[in-house]
Amino acid sequence: MIFLKNMMDSSTSFNISIVVPVHNGGLNFRRCLSSLKDLEPNSLEIIVVADGCADDSSDVASNAGIQVINLPEPGGPARARNMGAMQAKGKFLFFVDADVTVPSDAVAQIGLAFEKEHELAAVIGSYDDSPDKTNFLSQYKNLLHHYIHQMGREEASTFWGACGAIRRDVFLEIGGFDESYIKPSIEDIELGCRLIQSGYKIRLLKSLQVKHLKDWRVTSLLKSDVLNRAIPWTELILRNRMFTNDLNIGFTSRISILLVYGLLIASLFMISWPGALLIASMAGLLLVLINLPVYRFFKRKRGFFFTLKIIPWHWFYYCYCGIGFTLGAICYKWRRMKLFSSDRVASSQK
């Protein structure tokens, strides 16, 4: 992790500096830049950090008159954001992912939030309810993210790198993003944990909504949700002992995971044990009832038949979240044992 304190000049005419990490951004990145150029006021400082790009993302930003930091090798969005923050001049840092478009009033909303709550350290937004890509998985995944954030607590327990602003002095004080996350992962969640542990306040601004341009497919969804999110997130939760009842790790999600596995186990015994059918039916019914607000949301947004299609995917989501939690717990335990063994060896050699 790069320690950023005292690395920036405090004398500046910019109030908010926008930092965008990009790695081979393609068309989505062009659309992101276009939305940023339309922000009000348009005199904002925008810094693009090209993280080992092999495409023309750096040239696209430069040709648009935007400051670019070129990193020769990819090191992940955590490092890229930190590098951008070191060059920024604003009192506030507004981090934006390269695959979202930002509404023209985003900066005004952020500024108003900080003005109303002087003790506020950071604000985050959410995806909007009209995902750009029209295929089923992209609609399902992005709408589910929108729903979870819109139903989350406004006094948030996490940070969000896709659309999140933070006071520069606070960001510098806690040391920026953890650069040990060398791929897009939970570096923003980890930053949020440190903010909360340090006594800072984060606000989920539900009216601040960006449009996600990502095209989700089965492979990319599972890789992101399990390998890059669930496993490291579980390790973070166990390490910090932070079991918050909010967003993806709320009480409903935990109960739903148990019910999904109850349903699966009961289904395995249906042939040999008639009572298993009753147990499986009850687990399925409870799954529907406990997640009824989610399904009503999807029905309102995309209709009845779309909602029927998302139910098995939603249950599958709980299934692989359970797998991710188990693997994360194993990884956490293994690292603890390895660290304990190393300490014992070091002590014996003294």
CA dist 65 and 316 (Å) reads 45
Cα gap 222→321, rounded to integer Å = 10
Query: In the chain, helix, strand, coil percent, each to 5?
Result: 55, 15, 30
Please state, in angstroms and as integers, the Cα–Cα distance from residue 138 to each residue in 38, 58, 334, following that order: 26, 27, 35
Angle at Cα 207 formed by Cα 202 and Cα 213, nearest 5°?
A: 100
pLDDT of residue 240: 83
The contacts of residue 66 (CB under 8 Å, 6+ apart) are: 33, 46, 47, 48
Torsion of CA 75, 76, 82, 86, to 10 degrees: 50
Structure tokens, 56: 């023309």
Question: All domains of the chain, ordered by start, with CATH?
Answer: 16-215 (3.90.550.10), 248-348 (no CATH)
What's the pLDDT score for residue 6? 38
Distance CA 92, CA 211 (A): 22
The CA-CA-CA angle for residues 67, 70, 72, to 5°, reads 180
| pLDDT at residue 4 in the model | 38
Phi, psi of 19 (to 5 degrees): -115, 125
Residue 14's pLDDT is: 58
pLDDT by residue, tens only, the chain of 350 residues: 433 333 333 333 458 999 999 999 999 999 999 999 888 776 689 999 999 999 999 999 999 999 999 999 999 999 999 999 999 999 999 999 999 999 999 999 999 999 999 999 999 999 999 999 999 999 999 999 999 999 989 999 899 999 999 999 999 999 999 999 999 999 999 999 999 999 999 999 999 999 999 999 999 999 999 999 999 999 999 988 776 655 666 788 899 999 999 999 999 998 888 889 999 999 999 999 999 999 999 999 999 999 999 999 999 999 999 999 999 999 988 888 877 666 554 555 55
- Most distant CA pair in the chain, distance: 75
Q: Closest Cα partner for 202 from 228, 243, 170?
A: 170
Structure tokens that stand for 184 in this block? 């897009």
**Residue 320 amino acid letter:** Y
For residue 110, the surrounding DSSP H or E stretch is helix 106-116
How many whole angstroms separate alpha carbon 150 and alpha carbon 186?
20
Contact status, residue 47 vs residue 67, Cβ threshold 8 Å: yes
Strand pairing category for 155-156 and 67-71: unpaired
Instruction: Please state, in angstroms and rounded to a whole number, the distance separating the CA atoms of residues 323 and 263.
Output: 15
Rounded distance, CA 264 to CA 325, Å? 17
Contact in structure between 122 and 295 (CB atoms under 8 Å):
no
Q: Is 40 exposed, middle or buried (0-12, 13-18, 19+ CB in 10 A)?
A: exposed
